[in-house]
Amino acid sequence: MQERLDRAKRRQLLKEDQAWIGKAVDLSDVRTIQANTRHLTLMLLDTGIKRRASKAAAFASQLLDTTMSKHNPQPVACSKGCDYCCKTYVSVTIPEILRLAQSVRKQPEKSTRVGEAATASAAIPQGEREVKRVVCPILEDKACSEYLVRPVACRAVLSKSLETCLRIFEQNSGEPFPFTDDTTDIRVYIVAMLQASLMMSGLSPLHYEMNQALAVALAHEDAEDRWLAGEALFADVPVDEADIKPSGLSAMIHALVANVRPTL
Ligand code: SF4
């Protein structure tokens, strides 16, 4: 394990980080990635920040949007009214759920739909969700009713081919989703940064099934405080199976933790 940097070097690093924090991430420049991961981690560790988990989710979402619009400006096939991908499995971290819950909590009808979708989702194994669909309880009039606070997974689903989407979602063709070029890489880097910062903050870095996690968050007005205090509030919600197996993403997260932790 690397030794912690001395105080003067840490201060210098934080000063330099200012040039990259919140700006579009250059995926080929490890300094921009580390600077934003450090920022996220320090935010999550700062107990003086109210709703710091939701704020970390907001920061990661803004970073994703900014990076996508800079590096991935090509036209997309997605448009308002096309809601195929809002009926499949959505994988979220708890900070994203807590942020979404803040808005949904004020809307009783939507909250009821979340409970119904959670029950329906619990009855379907993750591997069957592509075929046995559950309409997202946030979907209204074929559009996302929580567009500004939608999870990173939703923000990063941009298709370059409507024809391929139609084959996937109407004919269950089993083809891979036709992400626009670079979308997958950008999403993977932002997710790695958020997960690494959660890991370094002693919080669960895992992704969970959205409908069930949201139902749990809505059932507890003080969910964010309790989760940040270490309560296993989401212990019964199924974890995304992709997070349990070793992968390129998990290797990236561990490398990021190894490099950033000594600088905190
Ligand atoms: S949260 Fe919004 S974008 Fe995501 S699946 Fe639900 S309706 Fe679609």
Are the beta carbons of 185 and 27 closer than 8 angstroms? yes
Distance, in Å, from the CA atom of 196 to the CA atom of 203, rounded to the nearest integer, reads: 10
Residue the block writes with tokens 């349990």: 244
Residues counted in the chain: 264
Distance, in Å, from the CA atom of 238 to the CA atom of 155, rounded to the nearest integer, reads: 22
- Domain ranges within the chain, ordered by starting residue: 17-263
The residues near 256 (Cβ < 8 Å, ≥ 6 apart) are: 33, 34, 37, 192, 193, 196
Pocket of ligand 1 (CB under 6 A): 86, 90, 136, 138-139, 144, 146, 150, 154
pLDDT of 163 above 90: yes
pLDDT of 150 above 70: yes
Q: pLDDT-derived band of residue 88, with 50, 70 and 90 as boundaries?
A: very high
Which residue type is seen at 44? Answer: L
The DSSP H or E segment spanning 15 is helix 7-17
Closest-lying ligand 1 atom to the alpha carbon of residue 88: 5
Look at residue 182 in the predicted model and tell me its pLDDT: 80
Look at residue 72 in the predicted model and tell me its pLDDT: 67
- Residue from 61, 65, 144 to probe ligand 1 pocket by mutation (most atoms less than 8 Å from CB): 144
pLDDT of 75 above 90: no
Look at residue 80 in the predicted model and tell me its pLDDT: 86
Closest-lying ligand 1 atom to the alpha carbon of residue 155: 3
Are the beta carbons of 148 and 96 closer than 8 angstroms? no
pTM of the model: 0.94
Look at residue 142 in the predicted model and tell me its pLDDT: 94
Look at residue 73 in the predicted model and tell me its pLDDT: 64
